[in-house]
Structure 1
């Protein structure tokens, strides 16, 4: 999984029967109408699974949309998309093990394949058979593993900037992995809680077109669980160390045979995952519906442009 932790930047310096509802135009929501951190915390649920106490947010009814976040984020990344899509899908946004508010024991593996096992267990626990996936960053790597290993459980997949087999982990995440190996990553990340300006100037500038999206509450929502205890700090490190070896090695042959409809939406200004990665996915996946580029978008553009995610997801679902 990719941890686009992505402070990479100054961190490198310190990454028919289609329903009428589906055919309706997406609602335009103002910033004030978007779910804030307090409301999102109130929505959080937990599933007691063999791997641990898995945190997730659920909203809406009907067919399920599974939203998979990147690192060092959690399900809060998708709040804007959930606001827009929960009218049309039962949206479920889990927190991966080692990130967010999910709690797992010290011995639990945090590899991409272990994360996949956790997701399958969560879907079974919630009695969910098939999902529409929306994924980002390291979550995109797990999404591809899910599509390759359990194709019968994936109805469609919307992939944004994320790992691909030839670029996993990308070179830009190596500074973060090195900090994790040295045991300094959690300490550097914890500084963002007391210095929001630093968070925006480093991490924020690396992954957002407008780093101001990182309000104090949003920073706290992302960072607090990662550094809340010695165990969580170690797991934050272990998550990044588990990005090697390449978790997607050997997956290409299975994806070449995939019949799952795919749409690719890519931030064109991302310094971690290039347009070459998007083009690779488009060529590889037989049912690709092409690429939409957000020219100014960086790694986590999904958080800044939830209307784009909602528009593209609903278009994909009507195919």
Structure 2
């Protein structure tokens, strides 16, 4: 039976938008939502989503932690300059500036999908700023980007990937079909709601600049940024837990196993049976449970 304290608690899009803040950094104005107080936890979203992906986890964890969900440059509601580098390395450097702007010395990281790439870069380059890391299905080592993304990256380089986002907004049946993100990345396509589609994709096609930045974000994931940090990962002292959906063709469990073997402070793997890429949005109670355990927080 579900614990009453784990009853569904999710900010809707209107409430999330009302909570959204902007902070000035050398990388532009970074959009983020903050909930709660205490030691900081930083939630890094997947592609082509934004911080709204973590709304359920924020509500469950904010009673213990200061939970922050920023939008990466080129995605969501962050306002980056036209010439801004959007590569994973630049995103990791931006996160350090974002934390500096908020006077946050260290965080617990939680990441999904391409956010996991950026989390790993951040953790090895700023080890003193990372207390723990909780990684869900994401890029790992040689599987970055996964081979299934080659056509999408080619479209991004050609400047046309934004058309797929526009199609999601115009055709919700397509958005939830196997060819769309709802059908391919969610266990239940119905969980890819109209309000989520609107909140995720409207800013991505709001202007020629935003369309160009969306394409630029995706194109910048080649060449692979993770191969070079393998030696640093093998020396990492950050306690890290992998929580991995088993039905994700992009990021199969073998890559969670690679991290488990490679990271000296691995806290093991929890398999989420049947979970696809964006299962953390569908099962925020699992994220909350694993985070509490990793952080050593007892339920009040």
Q: TM-score, normalised by structure 2?
A: 0.96
Counterpart position of 1:93: 69
Counterpart position of 1:82: 58
> CA separation in 1, counterparts of 2:102 and 2:151?
38
Counterpart position of 1:58: 34
| Contact preservation (8 Å) 2:186, 2:276 | yes
SS of match in other structure, 2:30: strand
Deviation at 1:75, TM superposition (A): 0.2
Matches within 5 A, 1:228-267: 228-267=206-245
| Contact preservation (8 Å) 2:141, 2:227 | yes
Matches within 5 A, 1:260-279: 260-279=238-257
Counterpart position of 1:187: 163
Deviation at 1:226, TM superposition (A): 0.5
Deviation at 1:192, TM superposition (A): 1.3
Deviation at 1:206, TM superposition (A): 0.8
> CA separation in 2, counterparts of 1:209 and 1:116?
29
Deviations 1:194-250 (A, max 9, x none): 211110112111100001011111100000010000000000000111001111121
> CA separation in 1, counterparts of 2:162 and 2:101?
32
SS of match in other structure, 1:27: helix
> CA separation in 2, counterparts of 1:184 and 1:200?
21
Which runs of structure 1 show a deviation greater than 4 angstroms over 4 or more consecutive aligned residues? none
> CA separation in 1, counterparts of 2:159 and 2:72?
20
Of 150-159 and 185-194, deviating more is 185-194
> CA separation in 1, counterparts of 2:4 and 2:243?
17
Counterpart position of 1:108: 84
Counterpart position of 2:291: 313
What 5-or-longer segments of structure 2 have no aligned partner?
Answer: none
Counterpart position of 1:5: none
| Contact preservation (8 Å) 2:93, 2:122 | no
Deviations 1:139-177 (A, max 9, x none): 111111111011100000000001112111110111210
Matches within 5 A, 1:191-210: 191-201=167-177, 202-210=180-188
Deviations 1:55-92 (A, max 9, x none): 00011000000000010000000000001000110000
Counterpart position of 1:142: 118
SS of match in other structure, 1:311: helix
1:42 to 10, 18, 22: 18
> CA separation in 2, counterparts of 1:29 and 1:73?
24
Deviations 1:266-308 (A, max 9, x none): 0100010011111101101011111000111000100000000
Deviation at 1:179, TM superposition (A): 1.4
Of 192-201 and 297-306, deviating more is 192-201
Q: TM-score, normalised by structure 1?
A: 0.90
